Amino acid sequence: MTPGRPPSPRDPRGAAPSMAAQAASTPAASLAGSLNPGVTRREVWSWAMYDFANSGYTTVILTTVFSAYFVGVVGGGAHWATLAWTCALSVSYLATMLTMPALGARADARAAKRKLLFASTVGCILATLTLSQAGPGDVWLALAGIAVSNYFYCIGESSVASFLPELARPQALGRVSGWGWSFGYCGGMLSLGLSLLIVSQAQSRGETAAQFVPWVVVATCVVFALSALPSFLWLRERAAPRGRAGVTPDMLGQLKRAWRDTGRHHRQFRRLLICVACYQAGIAVVITLAAVYAEQAMGFQMAQIMLLVFVVNIAAAAGAFLFGYLQDRIGHKRALAMTLCGWIAMVLIAYAAVTVGVFWIAAGLAGLCMGTSQSAGRAMVGALAPRKRLAEFFALWTFAVQLAAVVGPLTYGLVTWLTHGNHRLAILVTGLFFIGGLALLTRVDMARGADERIAGEGASEPGGGAPAGIRT
């Protein structure tokens, strides 16, 4: 979920408006002042629609419905089913980590971000549709379908994110990123609400999960496909092809070269990547295992879990939208630090919760932190990524996020295995990822990182005074 980038104009040097003034300004004025020259409202809306489109995949397929269906029905409730599900996702994340940097470099060199986005979208939808054919015992079909679909989802997520600096002015990266994230959570709620309707009607007719879950999968794919159409109609590819020079089929070599380059010329960006990998490991646990914790530690039933995820999406949408304005006001780094503190508080509340009411407080806090932390992290990457290498640098961001998606859930699973199912201790250990991320964040200097970005661009472009326009 992310937009593209034209040259950024210099920021007005006048006093920054207050939060109240920003909130009181008309949506049209706020939007117009946030966008780069030549970017239309329709284009920003079409970009945000991709966040809207793909959120149903994570909400319904990964988090709520199909994960439980795989363990309970496809895998027959076997003791290895949860591990098999986690391993399939880990394979897809590892594949993304190894291939996305080279794919991003190719997309930059050939001005093909839109093509990459389109290909990944088609791949994700088609692979997800195969899950509708997975019934009891079809373990390998389901594992292959989830691994391939999640791989393409991750490629699309990185591709759309690389459009953000093209659409938003430097001083508005936070709020525009927040618009996309909040819109995305609305899409997740639409898909989940539609799934709830299908499930409730099917259960009222006495149908089993093997009968109604395939229809949930199909409905999710239809929403994804239709909602993504505006992105391919109106989202522009602004970069010019640079030829094939320097583009290599050696994906692992490209990854190593990109990583070495951040150590030499973009040290603050590298520090940010390490920070992201740490705290995103904790977020990955919440995304992939929240339903498991609610069921195992709190005794929630499926209907309660679906309602829980729905409410968390509402909180996440509100948090991403409102906090986007705050982070542009106080700076991306301070905003992210605040949300990491919120994550730490959430972990402590969830660990101590023995009543449903207290756990709902933790869930609401998790929703608020979910949208704000992911929006702030994406905006920080957009602020530090060189304009001619956006897809490549967002691919490195994707690498960090996918590494976290492997480490976090596997750590949680290892703790529960070693402690014979102690999910409360596992969620407490998860808090260490957020504490580590907060500590690593203190070493990131956004102003110096902006200077490194400008130096890496070779020539100053409009808005080259970025440090004055991007609050740190």
User: What is the amino acid identity at position 207?
Assistant: E
Mean pLDDT of the chain: 82
Residue 348 within a domain = yes
The answer to whether residue 63 is domain-embedded is yes
Partners of 5 in the β-ladder: 166
pLDDT over 90 (residue 386): no
Q: Report yes or no on 92 lying in a domain.
A: yes
- Provide mean pLDDT across the span 210-231: 96
% the chain with pLDDT above 70 = 86
- Interatomic CA distance for residues 321 and 330, integer angstroms: 15
Could you list the residue range(s) of the whole structural domain that residue 121 is in? 39-237+250-453
**CATH classification of the domain holding 287:** 1.20.1250.20
**More confident position, 250 or 461:** 250
Is 281 among the domain residues?
A: yes
At 286-329, the pLDDT tens digits run 888 787 788 778 888 777 888 888 888 788 777 777 777 777 78
In single-letter form, the type of residue at position 154 comes to C
201 part of a folded domain = yes
Q: Is the pLDDT of residue 121 over 60?
A: yes
Query: How far apart (Å, rounded) are the C-alpha atoms in residues 426 and 413?
Result: 8
Assigned domain for 83 exists: yes
Q: Which helix (H) or strand (E) holds 358?
A: helix 356-384
Give how far Cα 73 sits from Cα of 134, 139, 208, 218, Å. Answer: 10, 10, 10, 18
Residue 252's pLDDT is 63
Residue 24 clears pLDDT 50, i.e. is over it: no
CA atoms within 13 A on the CB side of 24: 5
* pLDDT tens by residue, 47-88: 999 999 999 999 999 988 898 788 788 988 777 777 788 889
Q: What is the pLDDT of residue 19?
A: 38
Region 187-209: mean pLDDT is 90
pLDDT above 80: residue 374:
no
Q: What is the mean pLDDT of residues 260-281?
A: 90
Which pLDDT does position 340 carry in this prediction?
96
Percent of the chain with pLDDT over 90: 36
Residue 20, pLDDT score? 38
pLDDT exceeds cutoff 60 at 186: yes
Compute the distance between CA of residue 93 and CA of residue 153 in angstroms, rounded to an integer.
10
Q: Closest by alpha carbon to 161, among 232, 104, 111, 230?
A: 104
Residue 344 near residue 321, CB atoms below 8 Å: no
- DSSP codes of every residue in 103-137: HHHHHHHHT-HHHHHHHHHHHHHHHHHHGGG--TT
Confidence of residue 15 (pLDDT cuts 50, 70, 90): very low
Give the pLDDT confidence score for residue 177 in this predicted structure. Answer: 80
Question: In Å, how far are 3, 7, 41, 172 from 35, measured between CA atoms?
Answer: 11, 11, 8, 8
Quick one: pLDDT at residue 339? 93
Q: Looking at residue 49, what is its pLDDT? A: 94
Q: What is the mean pLDDT of residues 214-234?
A: 96
pLDDT, average across residues 275-292: 88
DSSP 385-413: S-GGGHHHHHHHHHHHHHHHHHHHHHHHH
pLDDT, mean of residues 353-369 = 91
Burial tier of 360 (Cβ tally within 10 Å: 0-12, 13-18, 19+): middle
pLDDT for 221 beyond 70: yes
Band (1; pLDDT cuts 50, 70, 90): very low
Residue 340 CA, distance from chain mean position: 16
For residue 435, pLDDT beyond 70: yes
Most confidently modeled of 151-155, 168-172, 414-418, 452-456? Answer: 151-155
Residue 380 has pLDDT above 80, yes or no: yes
More confident site: 19 or 134:
134
In this model, does residue 30 exceed pLDDT 70?
Answer: no
Please report how many Cα atoms fall inside a 13 Å half-sphere around the Cα of residue 253, on the Cβ side: 5
Does some domain include residue 30? no
Confidence category of residue 14, pLDDT binned at 50, 70, 90? very low
Q: Dig out the tokens for 342 from the structure.
A: 């919120």
Residue 5, SS3? Answer: strand
State residue 165's pLDDT score. 83
Average pLDDT over residues 207-211: 91
Look up tokens 């936070």; give the residue.
174
More confidently predicted of 109 and 276: 276
Residue 9 domain-assigned (yes or no): no
Of 419 and 210, the structure prediction assigns the larger pLDDT to 210
What is the mean predicted confidence (pLDDT) over 407-419? Answer: 84
- Name the residue with higher pLDDT: 235 or 468: 235
pLDDT at 412: 85
Tokens encoding 429: 């250990």
Q: Encoding tokens for residue 306? A: 């679906």
Comparing 139 with 372, the larger pLDDT belongs to 139
Q: How many domains does the chain have?
A: 1
- pLDDT above 50 (res 465): no
Q: How far apart are CA 181 and CA 375, in angstroms?
A: 6
Nearest one of 228, 2, 196, 264 to 107, comparing CA atoms: 2
**Mean pLDDT, rounded, for 120-133:** 98
